[in-house]
Amino acid sequence: MQELKIEKLVKRYPGRDQVVAVNQVDIDVQAGEMLVLLGPSGCGKTTLLRCVAGLEDAQEGRIVLEGRAVFDSASGLNQPTHLRDIGMVFQNYSLWPHMTVQRNVEYPLRARSMGASDRLARAREVLEVVQCGHLAERYPAMLSGGQQQRIALARALAPRPKVMLLDEPLSNLDALLRVELRTHLRAIHRELGFTGIYVTHDQLEAFNLGTRVAVMNAGRIEQLDSARAVYERPATDYVARFLGIRNALELRRVDRGWSSDAGAMQGDLAAIERHADRMQLFLRPQALRLHSPTQALSQASHLSISGGQVQEVLYSGGEVDTVLRFGDTTLYASSPAEGASFKPGDPVTVSFEASKALLYIDGKLT
Ligand SMILES: Nc1ncnc2c1ncn2[C@@H]1O[C@H](COP(=O)(O)OP(=O)(O)OP(=O)(O)O)[C@@H](O)[C@H]1O
Ligand SMILES: [Mg+2]
């Protein structure tokens, strides 16, 4: 069953430089799934969530919740927010300051005309889920940021909404607390099994929390896949770049194989043969190995480029990051600190397993 279906959704903001904030977006969120929307600032994540919640009116497309349309541009249907049965948590905790924690959590239940004793019981129950039962009588100003965000989560969960929308709920918290709350959120999701869309621009958060991850670029979905597939096989050069895969080489076909803007490539060229005259090769810094030019390269499955020079060696605890120059091209290698022996100025050859090379033709992974 599909819990939430978004079809060909378009949202334009009017104005002189009309922005298409959401551009032909198609997403199916399955029941019990936590789908993560990942993308840089301004790519349309919040706008998409607000359209789903009914806080923003889209111009085109359809939104279907549990088989029933809540928005349909063709028929003019546009259900108001309070009828959509959606829970929301935002970046700023947005609790009512004049209400105790207990009353904050009861608020959406009161709006649904639930009786007083049921309200009390349900609020207690969700406060236990977020481990804040002991805070019920406090006011928001008497809570830490992490506690406020747990209460905001409890308030959204209290009416058992069909879908939970979470817009960067952890980004106002410090790094340690983020990790703790992310782990807790993961456990709560497993326990309650709600259906959710979670927005972030932090890829680790996306990979930790997402059953699937949708990467957005300028209003469009570039890739929608399991976290592992997004990480291992970024579908477009945009996704590869967004994930911080720093080494990008332009490859050109030459007489006997491929040359790159870092120099000629040697080794297992058959492994990267494609029907194209130009390609782009992306490679994670961890995949690059460093050799001195005199060292013989034995592995047949490897590709190599020689003629480089070590520019900088940065110790980053456990790993050493090495910046390399090949003519005008910069490459980045990251290797275990043990055994690292290169110094700035050293001549260097790099090699990598052909299977680690991510190859793109016209921006698409091949
Ligand atoms: N009310 C508005 N009027 C006009 N343009 C808007 C409005 N709200 C957002 N936009 C524009 O729509 C685009 C998408 O904005 P949105 O807030 O959805 O991005 P986002 O992905 O949530 O970014 P962030 O990570 O910074 O929160 C941006 O170009 C933004 O400037
Ligand atoms: Mg946003």
Q: Supply the pLDDT for residue 1.
A: 58
Residues having CB within 6 Å of any atom of ligand 1: 13, 15, 19, 21, 39, 41-47, 201
CA of 326 to the centre of ligand 2 (A): 39
Structure tokens at 324: 């390399």
Mutation choice for ligand 1 from 10, 16, 22, 43, CB with most ligand atoms inside 8 A: 43
Show Cβ contacts of residue 22 under 8 Å, excluding neighbours closer than 6 positions.
Answer: 9, 10, 11, 44, 47, 48, 51, 58, 219
> Regarding the domain delimited by 2-242, which CATH topology (the fold level of the hierarchy) does it fall under?
Rossmann fold (3.40.50)
Nearest ligand for residue 90 CA: 2
**Alpha carbon separation from 177 to 172, 181, 184, 342, 359 (Å, rounded):** 10, 6, 10, 38, 38
d(CA 53, CA 86): 7
Taking residue 99's Cβ as centre, other Cβ atoms within 10 Å add up to 14
Ligand 1 atom closest to the Cα of residue 50 is 18
Predicted local confidence at residue 94, as pLDDT: 86
pLDDT in tens, the chain (366 residues): 569 999 999 999 988 888 899 999 999 999 999 999 999 999 999 999 999 999 999 999 999 999 999 999 999 999 999 899 899 998 887 899 999 999 999 999 998 889 999 999 999 999 998 899 999 999 999 999 889 999 999 999 999 998 999 999 998 888 888 898 899 899 999 988 899 999 999 999 999 999 899 999 999 999 999 999 999 999 999 999 999 999 999 999 988 788 999 998 988 888 888 889 999 999 999 999 999 988 877 777 799 999 999 999 999 888 999 999 999 999 999 999 887 789 999 999 999 999 999 999 999 999
Same fold, 2-242 and 247-365: no
323 membership: H or E segment, kind and range: strand 319-326
pTM of the model: 0.90
Residue nearest to atom 7 of ligand 1 (CA): 13
Which residue's CA is minimally distant from atom 22 of ligand 1?
A: 46
**Contact (Cβ atoms closer than 8 angstroms) between residue 28 and residue 52:** no
| Shortest-distance atom of ligand 1 to CA 43 | 21
* Ligand 1 geometric centre to CA of 150 (Å): 26
Nearest to 186 by CA among 175, 176, 174, 198: 198
Buried b (16+ CB within 10 A) or exposed e, 260-291: bebbebbbbeeebeeeeeebbbbbbbebbbbe
Which atom of ligand 1 lies nearest, measured to the CA of 14? 4
Nearest-Å Rg of the Cα atoms of the chain is 25
| Share of the chain residues as helix, strand and coil, in percent rounded to the nearest 5 | 30, 40, 35
Reference 123, options 142, 108, 138; nearest CA is 108
Q: What is the largest CA-CA distance in the chain?
A: 81
**Ligand 2 centroid from CA 1, angstroms:** 28
Q: What is the DSSP secondary-structure string of 294-310?
A: TSPP--TTEEEEEEEEE
Q: Around ion ligand 2, which residues have CB less than 5 A away?
A: 46
The runs of H, that is alpha helices, within 69-220 are 101-111, 116-129, 145-157, 175-192, 203-209
Q: CB within 8 A of 45, min separation 6: which ones?
A: 37, 39, 167, 199, 201, 216
Please choose from 13, 51, 198 the residue to mutate so as to test ligand 1's pocket, defined by most ligand atoms within 8 A of CB. 13
Distance between CA atoms of residues 326 and 344, nearest Å: 13
Compute how many other C-beta atoms are within 10 angstroms of the C-beta atom of residue 214. Answer: 25
- pLDDT confidence of residue 175: 86
Ligand 1 centroid–CA 89 distance in Å is: 17
Measuring CA to CA, how many Å separate 114 from each of 82, 100, 137, 189?
A: 15, 18, 20, 24
* Torsion angle of the four alpha carbons 336, 337, 343, 349, in this order, in degrees rounded to the nearest 10: -10
Q: Report the separation in Å between the CA atom of 42 and the middle of ligand 2, taken as the mean of its atom positions.
A: 7
* Domain segments of the chain as ranges: 2-242, 247-365
Q: Cα(22) to centroid of ligand 2, in Å? A: 12
CB of 245 closer than 8 Å to CB of 356: no
The two structure tokens encoding residue 333: 């290698």
Sole residue written with tokens 């709560």: 188
* CA distances for 313 relative to 334, 341, 342, angstroms: 10, 10, 8
- Decide if 59 contacts 13 (C-beta within 8 A): no
Q: Write down the CATH number for the domain with range 247-365.
A: 2.40.50.100
Ligand 1 mean position, distance from CA 11 (Å): 11
Instruction: Give which of 288, 275, 271, 277 is closest to 252, Cα–Cα.
Output: 277
Q: How far apart are CA 162 and CA 170, in angstroms?
A: 22
